[in-house]
Amino acid sequence: MPPKGSIEKDRSIVRELVRDPRQSNVALAAKVGLSEGSVRRRVERLVAEGHLHFAAIASAPFMGRPVHTLFEIQSAPGATDDLIEKLAAMPEMAYVYHVTGQFDIIAVGYFASSNEMRTFWTGRLGNLDGVMESRTVMVLRVAKRLHEWARDIAIDDNVTDLD
Amino acid sequence: MPPKGSIEKDRSIVRELVRDPRQSNVALAAKVGLSEGSVRRRVERLVAEGHLHFAAIASAPFMGRPVHTLFEIQSAPGATDDLIEKLAAMPEMAYVYHVTGQFDIIAVGYFASSNEMRTFWTGRLGNLDGVMESRTVMVLRVAKRLHEWARDIAIDDNVTDLD
DNA sequence: TTGCACACACGATTCTCGTCGTCTAGGCTC
DNA sequence: GAGCCTAGACGACGAGAATCGTGTGTGCAA
């Protein structure tokens, strides 16, 4: 087990990488006060454990999918998990959340046109077993998409044993 | 302007990077059929133009924010843009969308505890000017979070002039 | 022709990556 | 408690690879 305070080093590595994902291990090592090799091993471990991951994010409009839609779905009792599986398997879907509230599932997808979205909604989604009710919400503008949200966060010292 | 078909090279670079964000320019160049230098410059340009960006994504629980909440907000007429600005400026917020439907804004945030979320909701969010009604939706499980969604998408040839 | 936008070529510098020796913490036996 | 052993993490280091800046060529349009 990390001998306490080690997790803070991990977090500072993560914060630093969130701030600049493409910096070299050498630069990162200098900032967090470790050697290049140690930083490299820690990053590998953090990625393997799922605490950190790297992504290249494409602009959906640039890739030919300008229509950004959110679906709120109420599922039949007991059907939620199945439904989530099926939604997650659809390539149009980027995010699928199991949530509380009036609806059980929120899913976000990208489409080439409103018409294609409509086809998807009325055809593929509407025909799925277990869909009681669904609503679409069109995303007009993304005001903030901060995969970098962790950057400014001050970490409480007493929160060290989280998964 | 790119002489047509150049945008397809850009897209194949993007797709390839989405598939593996940390591959070297040399490897990428071999796959898309360009030299290392050309790929490097194209990637720089794509990032500068906002069509592509690199991110290191931290696990929110690991960073001490296990509570994942979505807020649906109905704003007073004319107040939406202001409200969006204010929400986007809050460090707890990771995503802020301007949307259609019953609500005008959907915002997603991460909190250290449900209590902190409640404090935020009743205190900071509830006191903002222009908030007519707001609901919280707790995210129980993230079934899919595919920043890599663009990977499998076939691009229509007639969709070349999008921003 | 001139200008411009790309692409390629090619060193110099920097980084990555595997390996090795060291140090420390913890557990075990005596 | 002393001595010993093991596991994990760290730093050091060198070979190989990647990056990065610059210079040159080529196609196209004004």
Chain D bases having any atom below 7 Å from a protein CB: 9-13, 17-23, 28
Whether B59 contacts A47, CB under 8 Å? no
* Protein residue at shortest CA distance from C1' of D13: A37
Which CATH topology does B6-55 take?
Arc Repressor Mutant, subunit A (1.10.10)
pLDDT per position as a tens digit, A121-138: 999 998 899 999 999 999
| Residue B32 pLDDT greater than 70, yes or no | yes
Which of A153, A157, A158 is best to mutate for the B interface (most B CBs within 10 A)?
Answer: A153
Beta carbons of A13 and A49 less than 8 angstroms apart: no
- CA distances for A68 relative to A22, A60, B33, B73, B156, angstroms: 28, 8, 32, 19, 17
Could you tell me which CATH number the domain at B67-138 has? 3.30.70.920
Q: What is the mean pLDDT of chain B?
A: 86
Q: Which are the contacts of B130, defined by CB distance < 8 A and separation ≥ 6?
A: B75, B76, B79, B80, B82, B83
DSSP secondary structure, B90-133, as one string: -TTEEEEEEE-SS-SEEEEEEESSHHHHHHIIIIIITTSTTEEE
Domain boundaries, chain B: 6-55, 67-138
> pLDDT per residue over B96-155, tens digit each?
999 999 999 999 999 999 999 999 999 999 899 999 999 999 999 988 776 544 444 433
What distances in angstroms separate CA A151 from CA A12, A103, A154, B110, one per listed residue?
10, 31, 9, 13
pTM flag (> 0.95): no
Task: Provide the pLDDT confidence category of residue A144 given band limits of 50, 70 and 90.
Answer: confident
From chain B, pick out residues whose CB is under 8 angstroms from the CB of A28.
Answer: none
- pLDDT tens-digit series, residues A46-80: 999 999 999 999 888 898 899 999 999 999 999 99
